[in-house]
Amino acid sequence: MTAARKGATRASAIPSDVLQALSSGAMQSATLAECLALDQARLMRAVFPGLSPQALKEVDSACELGILKRMSRIGAVLLDALGAGGIETCRAHSADTVRGWACFMIGAQPGLSLSTRLAAIRPLADDGHFGVREWAWMAMRPHLAEELDASISLLAQWATLPSERLRRFASEAMRPRGVWCAHIGGLKREPGRALPILAPLRNDPSRYVQDSVANWLNDAAKDQPDWVRGLCAQWLQAMPTDDATRRICQRALRNLK
């Protein structure tokens, strides 16, 4: 990565040749700013030049929306235009945003059971690109929130998987407040319902996972501070010398006095 790309934290700082490459699908984004700044309408035309004029018109309209609604709407348009077979086409593409569209196509598929939808999203939740992994949990979150107990039961299994990316998905997708997404009222009121996910991660060796668990608890502390204090006290008492647990708890309690 060039120094210019490393330092480009705003769209205005992204070199024009980089934006052109991102918007043509020739390059993966390296930063969140690049993810947000690329021209998805142009990218769509580069990746799917045979898309119908009506579908392209709908994509153009979607590009006027905020980023999460944009991705969700584009996923629905592509699913309608390409069918379920288009998911694999997008999932196999080299551009991270196109793989992100695949996430929302999976999210838009009607009639899938929760376990089937999670199985479909799993390769994207384990993607090598940070952005695709974020799109994966965002695309799944409405379905997870709708079937909360079933989601916790299924994702508790993900919390023990070898991949740190999938373990992190289990935590991040179920944060009570989360980022760029609707809150999960049931977990704001009763965060203890998620302990089957959180408990296996309380001393996870990956900082990527630790940060997610800490942020989960920090979310919960905004509504149930005493519960978070009590849980951290239990974890620290049980594992007083564990560095991972101590780091999680310190970060979890960072906004509490």
Name the helix (H) or strand (E) containing 247.
helix 243-252
Number of structural domains (the chain) is: 2
Q: Tell how far CA 37 is from the center of its chain.
A: 18
User: Does residue 204 sit in the same domain as residue 256?
Assistant: yes
Token reading at 20: 């052109």
Would you say residue 140 has pLDDT above 90?
yes
User: Does residue 109 sit in the same domain as residue 214?
Assistant: no
Structural domain span for residue 139: 18-146
Q: Is residue 61 assigned to a domain?
A: yes
Question: The pTM is what?
Answer: 0.92
Cα separation of the two ends of the chain: 41
Would you say residue 251 has pLDDT above 50?
yes
Q: How many residues belong to the chain?
A: 257
pLDDT band at 208 (very low <50, low <70, confident <90, very high): very high
Residue 209 to residue 71: CA distance in whole angstroms: 25
- Residue 218 in contact with residue 255, Cβ under 8 Å? yes
DSSP label at 143? H
Largest CA distance in the chain: 62
User: Does residue 34 sit in the same domain as residue 81?
Assistant: yes
Q: What is the pLDDT of residue 3?
A: 43
Residue 172 to residue 179: CA distance in whole angstroms: 9
pLDDT digits (tens, 9 = 90+) for 228-242: 999 999 999 998 889
Residue 70 to residue 92: CA distance in whole angstroms: 21
Would you say residue 6 has pLDDT above 70?
no
User: Does residue 155 sit in the same domain as residue 233?
Assistant: yes
Give 156's contacts (C-beta < 8 A, 6+ positions apart): 170, 196, 197, 200
pLDDT band at 11 (very low <50, low <70, confident <90, very high): low
Q: What is the pLDDT of residue 178?
A: 82
pLDDT digits (tens, 9 = 90+) for 74-108: 999 999 999 999 999 999 999 999 999 999 999 99
Q: What is the pLDDT of residue 253?
A: 96
Residue given tokens 């089957």 in the structure block: 196
Q: Is residue 177 assigned to a domain?
A: no
User: Does residue 22 sit in the same domain as residue 138?
Assistant: yes
Number of Cβ atoms within 10 Å of the Cβ of 2: 10
Residue 122 to residue 30: CA distance in whole angstroms: 22
User: Does residue 211 sit in the same domain as residue 133?
Assistant: no
Token reading at 58: 């709908």
Would you say residue 34 has pLDDT above 60?
yes
Q: What does the mean pLDDT of the chain come to?
A: 94
